[in-house]
Amino acid sequence: MTPAQIETYVDAAAAALDLRLRPEHRAGVLGYFAIAAGMAAVVDAVALDAHDESALCFTPVAPPESGA
């Protein structure tokens, strides 16, 4: 994402969440969002095939019943 796209996205997301960004926090928010966008671009650049699966598999289990 370009810096202008990041600013537009952060402004729109803040407005959608009714979140007021203080002027002294804006540069930090934009900076961290730029870092996150860069990480997402790296992940998105990895080509996956139909047979690729997630490395994690969550299998929920019921909690043990209490004896009380």
The tens place of each residue's pLDDT in the chain, 68 residues long, gives 899 999 999 999 999 999 999 999 999 999 999 999 999 999 999 998 888 877 777 788 888 887 66
Domain count, the chain: 1
Domain-embedded: residue 54: no
Q: Tell me whether residue 51 is in a domain.
A: no
Asked if residue 22 is part of any domain, the answer here is yes
- Residue 7 placed within a domain: yes
- Asked whether residue 64 is assigned to any structural domain, the reply reads no
The residue type at 22? R
Inside any domain, residue 20: yes
CB within 8 A of 43, min separation 6: which ones? Answer: none
Q: What's the longest Cα–Cα distance across the chain?
A: 59
Domain of 12? Answer: 3-44
Q: What is the DSSP letter of 56?
A: -
Looking at the domain assignment, is residue 52 inside a domain?
Answer: no
pLDDT for position 68: 60
- 18 assigned to some structural domain: yes
User: What CA–CA distance (Å, rounded) separates 28 from 39?
Assistant: 17
Predicted structure pTM score:
0.65
